[in-house]
Structure formats: C-alpha cells, structure tokens
Amino acid sequence: MSLTTNPNVLKWVDEMIALCKPDKVVWIDGSQEQLDALTAEVTSLPDGDPNKMYYLNQEKLPGCLYHRTAENDVARVEDRTFICTRNKEDAGPTNNWMDPQEMYAKLTPMYDGVMKGQTMYIIPYSMGPVASPISKIGVEITDSIYVVLNMNIMTRMGKAAFDRLGDSNDFVRCLHSKADVDPEKRYIVQFPEDNTIWSINSAYGGNVILSKKCFALRIASFQGKNEGWMAEHMLILGVQKPDGETKYVCAAFPSACGKTNLAMLIPPEGYLKDGYKVFTVGDDIAWLKPGEDGRLYAINPENGFFGVAPGTNAKSNYNALASTMKNAIFTNVALNNADNTVWWEGLDKNPPEDATEWTGIKTNGKEWTAEGKKLAHPNSRFTAPAANCPCISPEFDSAAGVPISAIVFGGRRASTTPLVYQSFDWTHGTYIGSAVSSETTAAATGAVGVHRHDPMAMKPFIGYNVGDYWQHWLDMGAKLGDKAPKIFNVNWFKKDENGNFMWPGFGDNMRVLDWIIKRCDGTVEADETAIGYLPKMGDINVSGIEDEVTPEIMEKLLAVDKNLWTQEIAEMRRYYDEDIAAKGGRIPADLYSVLDKIEANLNK
Ligand code: GTP
Ligand code: SPV
Ligand code: MN
C-alpha cells in the first residue's frame, strides 16, 4: 500500500517499478515495527551473503549492527561520479559530465530488471527538520536494507516527509541499486535539472545514502544557486560563552580532515572552568539561507553522523564515541571476537587478539600487523543518531536554524598556511575558500596524501560550474552586506622540520575558536599582513599547553613565509588559469583582483 497520494511520486514510483521489476515493493513508513522486521531479516541472512548485517554485543552496544562492504567498494568513487546537465559548461571543470539523455540511455538497461527476485524499498525522507522552511524532501528507492537502516539514522525518514510534501513535485528522485557491486559498472549520477540521482553497483555509504553527498551537496548546491541559498560541506557548532551568549560557527574542511572532531570538541580544562560550552549542530553538511533579520542562518539537513571510525577514541573525540554506543551501524571496522564488539586503529592501543579484520578474515592478533595492514579499513565508518550525541545543540531541531557569525575554511597543509588567519572581507574570504587545498584521504578511492585543490572542501560536491559557484558566494556576500559572517582559515596540520604536527589539535582547537569569536565580537586586535589578519603573539591562549606550544612554536605556527606565499599565489594563478578558466570555469573577475592584491602585498 502506498504511503502517499502525491501523483508525482506515484507516477515516478510506477516508472521505477516497471524499470527495476522487483518481486515486492515496500513503502518505508519509519515505524519501529517495520525497522525491527527489516533488522531481523537482514541479520538472519546466511554468513557469506554480501548483504548480511550482524548484531553486535547487545548488552554493551544495544541496537548496534555491523556490516562490511566488498573490498572494492569502501569509499566514494569520484572518477565514476557525474553531473549531467544539458550544457556541458554548466557542469564545469570540476565534474565529470555526460549528456543527460545519453546517460539515461546508458544506465536504463543496467536498471532493467535489476530487482527481479528482490524487494524494492521506497524511502520518503526530509532533509532538515520537517517543519523548517529551509528543509527539502527526497524519496530514495533502493534494494538494500542496509541503506534503509542507514537512512533511518541519517535523515528524518518516514510518512511525515510525505505529509510535508503534500502534492508538490519539489522532491529529489533517488534511485539506487546495488546490482552486482561491479566496480566497472559503478555510476553515481546526478541530474540537477531533473532533481534526480541514479546510483548503481555500489553498497558503500557516500555512494548509496543518496541523501548525503548526492542530494544535500550536489543537487542542493544547484538548487541553492537558483533559489538564493547555499549547500556547503560544513560542520555547524555553537560556542556558549560564560556570559551565556552562544555564537555559531560553520567550518568547511575536506573529507577526513577534522569536521566531526571539531563539531564535537570538548574545550580544555581552563575553558570549562570559565564556563565555556560547545554544542554540535552538524558535523558534515550545512544549508545556509538569509533570515528575515538579514543574517545568515544554518540548518543541518542530516539527522545523524556518518563518521570516520579510525582515530576516534575517548580522548580525541569522546562525544563521537559516545554517540556510537547505541542504535549505531558500524561499517568496515574490525570485530573483537572475545565479546562481539568493534575495534579500529586509534580506538586504544590494544588490538584484540581474537579479531576479524574488516575484510572478514579472522586473525590471531599477530599476522595482521605485517606491512601497514590495518584491522579496520582507514575509511571505516559509524552511522550514529545525532540524538545520541552528549553535546547535541538544543537548537538541533530548530526550524529557523542558527545564526552564523563565522565561516572557517581549512585543510591538511604541512607548510605555508598559518594556524589561523582572518580574511580582509567577504570577497577575500571567498578567494580563501577557492584556494582550499589539502592532502587526499581514504574517504575517496585513489592515492592518499596527494596535495590537491579542493575549493571550499567542495571539489567532489559542487553540482554545477565552479566559477558560477564562486560567483554565487560573492552574490550571497553582497546580499548579506555588513551582516555577513566573518571568514577565517585554519590549519591544524602544520608540521615541523621532523614531520611532526606542531599544533596539538582536537580539544585545543577551542583556543583558535576563541580567537575567532573574539574577532567577531570585536574584542581582540589583529596584525594586518599581506595575506589577511593574523593573531598578535600572545593572543592565542596557550595556558595549560605552554610546554607543548612554546613561543618559538607559536611563531612558526603563525608565520607567513614570503617565499612560500609567493609560490602559493603563483600556484593559485596557475590553478585559476589552467585548471579552471582554460577548462570552462567562469571565474569572477573579483577573485582575480584578490589574487592581484595579495601578490602586490607580498611584493611590498
Ligand atoms: P568526513 O566525514 O570524511 O567528511 O571527515 P571529517 O572532516 O568529519 O573528518 P574527521 O573529524 O572524522 O577527522 C578525520 C581524521 O582527522 C581523524 O581520524 C583525526 O585523526 C584527524 N584529525 C581531526 N582533527 C584533528 C586535529 O585537530 N589535529 C590532527 N592532527 N588531526 C586531526
Ligand atoms: C566524505 O567523504 O566527505 C564523507 C563520507 O563525509 S561520504 O558519505 O562517503 O561522502
Ligand atoms: Mn564529509
């Protein structure tokens, strides 16, 4: 029985049924009964079935499940991800492109009959609080119970989404089939002009939880450009100050560069004593829209966290770990067979002696240590309900969203980029966003540790021409005027001559947030340098870590090396000219002006 009478939904569903030819169709209403039945079904599949999920220790990890994906299917596949717009130029130089009709023609035979002998699940969901004017509705069709259970954590899933939609045609049509999980036939395709996403031959998170990167970033960024708002790869956090005021900050870092960690940080002792508190609104995606008062408001369109497991521990990210203790799904981590719990590198220093590697191979706690082998995949993940997070913001479900005071960019940069600096203005801030670059991580397939440009941490997620996207940033700034958030850049990853991180990071990043908030409040001065405003020596609070961050180290952390910056600017000019403009990226003239200005500053 269908859950809606919306003719647009029903027509599309009928078409997809005719195409995929499932034996059975199940509408997901979001009820606990239905979820329990699906969990029972997926956990009772025979061992060796690639779709199987396992119950973990239900005393220690109540409601928690475990799943492993195929070895060739453990991360996003950027080379197989497409933006299909009618005009190639509208996809721009950062995207793979194919003509929509050609792509539909190519994929249709692959979906034809793909669900024979299987069940099709139809999942209505809301991105953002159901009552929020910023929220949007999606419907995902899938043949995977793993996807249904993940969507239940990651979105507001169920009938309420259809109630909100009414008879409107404004919903994103998401079609997923795991098919044969054949990497040669894997496609992650966005059709922004049709509000449509087609994903096939994968069963890994970012490729199949279509609400996430496919909708909430690729499709939503396109919608935002047309409708006057922004979809960004940003965490959202609130810092409550001792005077009771909460300031909200958004931060964009590339995949696996510290968003979840910053979003949930626990301030150092001294700050806690003074009465500071940090609240999480989101850890990965922000939708930003000007409010009636002219300020920029953010909602987190998601309802859970799809976080990197390795490196997560009670010290590095207590709140993330706590969020995974019930009703969570673990993917591609290792199993501790002694008590049927989970383990990953960086959880603690005691890998289990009786373990199952993420690949499913049992080990005796010795062999796996050979040559960089890891028990858990470096991109293994937890899917955890936001409601579990001890520091979840009281504004998490707010329909209006939270007003943003600061936007922060960052990436993994071993040199050049200082610990923190502030842009001269919004246009310069947009330039700084366009200049984000980072070392690649295990979040996407391909080489790890390679330096690449990742503008606004959105390189894999901008659903249209990157030049138009930068223009949209400039337009939003013009609209917000003096109410626009201040823009900053941070770098937790600067290294010394011996290759060690100079900044302790994690909870100590509060010290940098503190400076950022004081800049927004206008209560701290800064040094005007060639590249932007930098903290004056002594203004980053190091009380409690003076031994680790000596004045010499702080000088290095805040250094603006003229030679390195001259190289940086030359590389940016090359990047704009060769990688973007020459390949059809419509770069706004204002951004070239910033480049000229910084170059002139450096030559002064
Ligand atoms: P996605 O979910 O892929 O978008 O990643 P993310 O940006 O949320 O990254 P996450 O917070 O999961 O961090 C990924 C890795 O970065 C962790 O395993 C940490 O080891 C490392 N990391 C995070 N914050 C810091 C920091 O302040 N300093 C250092 N040195 N490493 C950090
Ligand atoms: C990222 O890669 O930025 C993630 C994980 O947050 S995924 O959902 O796979 O995109
Ligand atoms: Mn992400």
φ and ψ of 360, to 5 deg: 100, -5
**CA–CA separation, 302 vs 482, rounded Å?**
29
Q: Closest residue (by CA) to atom 3 of ligand 2? A: 255
Residue 524 has which token pair? 């701290």
Question: Closest Cα to atom 10, ligand 2: which residue?
Answer: 206
Coil, strand or helix: which one is 106? helix
pLDDT of 213-271, one tens digit each? 999 999 999 999 999 999 999 999 999 999 999 999 999 999 999 999 999 999 999 99
Alpha carbon of 303 to ligand 1 centroid (Å) = 20
Per-residue model confidence (pLDDT) at position 369: 58
Measure the CA angle with vertex 253, ends 252 and 254; round to 5°.
125
| Other CB atoms within 10 A of residue 532 CB | 25
Pairing label, strands 234-240, 277-282: antiparallel
pLDDT at 368 over 90: no
- Place 366 in a pLDDT band, splitting at 50, 70 and 90: low
Mean pLDDT, residues 417-427 taken together: 98
CA 195 – CA 437 distance, rounded (Å): 30
Q: Which of 20, 84, 257, 520 is catalytic?
A: 257
- 305-388: CATH topology is Phosphoenolpyruvate Carboxykinase; domain 2 (2.170.8)
DSSP-assigned letter for residue 396: T
Single-letter residue type at 437: S
Residue pLDDT, tens place only, 306-364: 999 999 999 999 999 999 999 999 999 999 999 999 999 999 999 899 999 999 988 87
DSSP state letters, 116-130? TTSEEEEEEEEES-T
Average pLDDT over residues 130-157: 98
| Residues 453-500 pLDDT 10s | 999 999 999 999 999 999 999 999 999 999 999 999 999 999 999 999
Tell me the average pLDDT across 526-543.
98
Would the pLDDT of 53 be above 70? Answer: yes
Reported as a single tens digit per residue, the pLDDT across 85-120 is 999 999 999 999 999 999 999 999 999 999 999 999
Q: Predicted confidence band at 524 (pLDDT cuts at 50, 70, 90)?
A: very high
Q: Decide if 179 contacts 142 (C-beta within 8 A).
A: no
pLDDT band at 371 (very low <50, low <70, confident <90, very high): low
DSSP 3-state assignment of 265? coil
Is any atom of ligand 2 closer than 6 Å to the C-beta of 205?
yes
Residue with CA nearest ligand 2 atom 9: 206
Residue 302 pLDDT exceeds 60: yes
Fold of 232-302+395-603: Phosphoenolpyruvate Carboxykinase; domain 3 (3.90.228)
Residue 255 alpha carbon, nearest atom of ligand 2: 3
Question: How does residue 12 score in pLDDT terms, banded at 50, 70 and 90?
Answer: very high
Does residue 55 register a pLDDT over 60? yes
Could you confirm whether 257 is annotated as catalytic? yes
From the list 249, 290, 218, 229, the residue with the least C-alpha distance to 473 is 229
Tell me the pLDDT tens digit for each residue of 191-227.
999 999 999 999 999 999 999 999 999 999 999 999 9
DSSP string, 186-207: -EEEEEGGGTEEEEES--SHHH
How sure is the predictor about 373, in pLDDT bands with cuts at 50, 70 and 90? confident
- Asked whether 147 and 176 are in contact (CB, 8 A), the reply is yes
| Interatomic CA distance for residues 314 and 304, integer angstroms | 19
Higher-confidence position of 369 and 250: 250
| 284 CB within 6 A, ligand 2 | yes
Mean pLDDT of the chain: 97
The predicted model gives 19-41 an average pLDDT of 98
Determine the topology of domain 7-51+77-228 in CATH: Phosphoenolpyruvate Carboxykinase; domain 1 (3.40.449)
* pLDDT of res. 367: 67
First to last CA, the chain: 72
- CB of 255 within 6 A of ligand 1: the answer is yes
pLDDT for residue 370 is more than 50: no
Please report the atom of ligand 1 found closest to the CA of residue 509.
Answer: 27
Residue 588 CB–ligand 1 contact under 6 Å: no
Query: Nearest CA to 233 among 261, 215, 200, 255?
Result: 255
The pTM assigned to this predicted structure is 0.98
Average pLDDT over every residue of 155-171 = 98
Domain ranges of the chain: 7-51+77-228, 232-302+395-603, 305-388
Mean pLDDT throughout 271-287?
98
Q: Which listed ligand is nearest to 233 at the C-alpha?
A: 3
What distance in Å separates the CA atoms of residue 191 and residue 198, rounded to the nearest whole number? 8
**pLDDT at residue 388 tops 80:** yes
The maximal CA–CA distance of the chain, rounded, in angstroms, is: 72
Which ligand has an atom closest to residue 76 CA? 2
Torsion region of 48: left, alpha or beta (phi above 0 gives left; psi -120 to 50 gives alpha): left
- CB of 504 sitting under 6 A from ligand 1: no
Q: 143: which 2 tokens? A: 């043949």
Task: Report the percentage of the chain scoring pLDDT > 90.
Answer: 95
